[in-house]
Structure 1
Amino acid sequence: MKTFRDQLQWQALILAQQQSGLNISTYCSKYKLSTSSFYAHKKRLASTESAFVCANISQHKVTEHKVTQLELMQPQTAIALEFAHAKLHLPHSTSPSFLAQLLRELTS
């Protein structure tokens, strides 16, 4: 039986593969994923990424989910999100749409 994965799930799988240090073939074998599907989704997600400016909160005051001051970072810097007592580190290549969806989920 085929498993349906949405764009967010494929983004997470691609990110996990990149962070695992395994090549795509080995990663797909280990997690029983189709390599052709993996490559197709990776290509599709890469083509939907747009230019994105990374930002670092240097001083902040959060009021109703609004950040008052941002400081630009180097584009190659990893993205670090802190929410409650958790930290999440994402590569700089993470798509803006994935970040937006992630932030919506965290604040709901």
Structure 2
Amino acid sequence: MKTFRNKQQWQELVLAQQQSGLNISAYCRKHKLSTSSFYAHKKRLASTEGAFVCAQISQHKVIEHQVTQLELAPPNVAITLELAHAKLHLPHSVSPSFLAQLLRELAP
């Protein structure tokens, strides 16, 4: 019997695969998922996540660039980047590639 999953469930599966340390084939085998479906949904999610992200600056001056604590948040929780006294709030759906690019741009 075929299992139908909504967008949020696929987002959670893709995130879980990334955090598992397993490659996609091994993850799909372990969780009895079709690799072709997994790749298709991952691609579809990536194309919708690259959209414009609205960010609000709460502090203009950044004093230091040092990551003091990193916590993994469960899916559907907003992402907050905090540098010195500045906080940047991003939606949970922001793509990892956008987040990586943002961190590179914020680096000194």
Q: TM-score, normalised by structure 1?
A: 0.53
Count of residues in Structure 1 that have an aligned counterpart in Structure 2: 73
Matched, 1:88 2:73: yes
What is the letter of the counterpart of residue 36 of structure 2? Answer: S
Matched, 1:34 2:34: yes
Once the two structures are superposed, the pairs formed by residues 15-54 of structure 1 within 5 Å of their partners are 15-49=15-49, 50-52=51-53
Q: Which runs of 4+ in 1 moved over 6 A?
A: none
For 2:53 and 2:28, locate their aligned partners in 1 and report how far apart those are by CA, in whole Å. Answer: 29
What is the letter of the counterpart of residue 37 of structure 2? Answer: S
Could you report, residue by residue, the CA deviation over 1:41-98 in whole angstroms, capped at 9, with x for unpaired residues? 000000001133667xxxxxxxxxxxxx945999xxxx96xxxxxx825688x525xx
Unaligned 5+ segments in structure 2 are: 80-89, 95-108
SS in 2 for 1:88: coil
For 2:33 and 2:24, locate their aligned partners in 1 and report how far apart those are by CA, in whole Å. Answer: 10
Q: Which structure exhibits the higher relative contact order, with contacts defined as CA atoms closer than 8 Å and separated by 6 or more residues?
A: 2
Closer, same or farther in 2 for the Cα pair 1:24/1:5, shift >3 Å? same
For 2:2 and 2:59, locate their aligned partners in 1 and report how far apart those are by CA, in whole Å. Answer: 45
Unaligned 5+ segments in structure 1 are: 56-68, 81-86, 97-108
Closer, same or farther in 2 for the Cα pair 1:52/1:29, shift >3 Å? same
Q: Percent identical across equivalent pairs?
A: 58
Moved more, 24-33 or 43-52: 43-52
What is the letter of the counterpart of residue 2 of structure 2? Answer: K
For 2:16 and 2:39, locate their aligned partners in 1 and report how far apart those are by CA, in whole Å. Answer: 14
Could you report, residue by residue, the CA deviation over 1:19-59 in whole angstroms, capped at 9, with x for unpaired residues? 0000000000000000000000000000001133667xxxx
